[in-house]
């Protein structure tokens, strides 16, 4: 997707997405056979429900039909949430990942798996799980020390609400 088309799409989509109380995370264009695939990724602090994606998809489709941003060629539109395995790249991603286990690739090399406890403007407070029966330890990490980060999927993780009940 050309930069100009990408910029035009974002300019068209951002007000629609923001009006739903969502963040526009990404706009991807790819080939799907003879057609193009336009994938719009949205998220919010509370997550995104399927109904919200469907409603936004209808509105985006109407707007795209009224504009010339996509040209005359056929395309498939998909509106979805980013999924659990997306990289954490923005401050808001880390805030949304509080209480989640995250795998960090460190800028200096090496990796760290830890639970995010709190996030501020400079970095975050982590809880590094103990190994072989040892207690968890606290650690502070600056955003500048992170090369990559991704939430680790936990199948046996207890939700805070379940723990409080």
pLDDT computed for residue 93 by the predictor: 92
Residue carrying structure tokens 């994938």: 39
Structure tokens at 7: 């910029």
pLDDT tens sequence across 111-149: 999 999 999 999 999 999 888 888 989 999 999 999 999
pLDDT tens sequence across 56-85: 999 999 998 888 888 787 888 999 988 877
pTM, two decimal places: 0.73
pLDDT computed for residue 165 by the predictor: 47
The answer to which of 12-16, 88-92, 161-165 has the lowest mean pLDDT is: 161-165
pLDDT computed for residue 158 by the predictor: 57
Range 75-79 contact pairs with CB under 8 angstroms and sequence separation of 24 or more: 75/35, 75/36, 75/37, 75/38, 76/32, 76/35, 76/36, 76/37, 76/38, 77/38, 77/40, 78/37, 78/38, 78/39, 78/40, 79/40, 79/42, 79/53, 79/54
pLDDT computed for residue 117 by the predictor: 96
How many CA atoms are closer than 13 Å to the CA of 23, on its beta-carbon side? 12
pLDDT computed for residue 2 by the predictor: 56
């Amino acid at each position: 997707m050309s930069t100009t088309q990408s910029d035009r799409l974002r300019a068209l989509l951002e007000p629609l997405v923001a009006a739903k109380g969502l963040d526009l995370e990404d706009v991807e264009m790819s080939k799907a056979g003879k057609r193009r695939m336009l994938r719009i990724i949205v998220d919010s602090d509370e997550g995104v429900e399927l109904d919200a994606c469907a409603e936004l998809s209808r509105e985006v489709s109407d707007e795209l039909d009224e504009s010339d941003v996509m040209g005359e060629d056929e395309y498939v539109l998909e509106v979805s949430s980013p999924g659990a395995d997306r990289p954490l790249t923005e401050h808001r991603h880390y805030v949304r990942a509080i209480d989640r286990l995250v795998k960090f690739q460190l800028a200096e090399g090496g990796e760290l798996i830890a639970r995010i406890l709190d996030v501020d403007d400079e970095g975050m407070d982590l809880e590094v799980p103990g190994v072989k029966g040892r207690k968890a330890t606290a650690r502070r990490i600056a955003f500048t020390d992170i090369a990559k980060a991704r939430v680790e999927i936990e199948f046996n993780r207890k939700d805070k609400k379940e723990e409080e009940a």
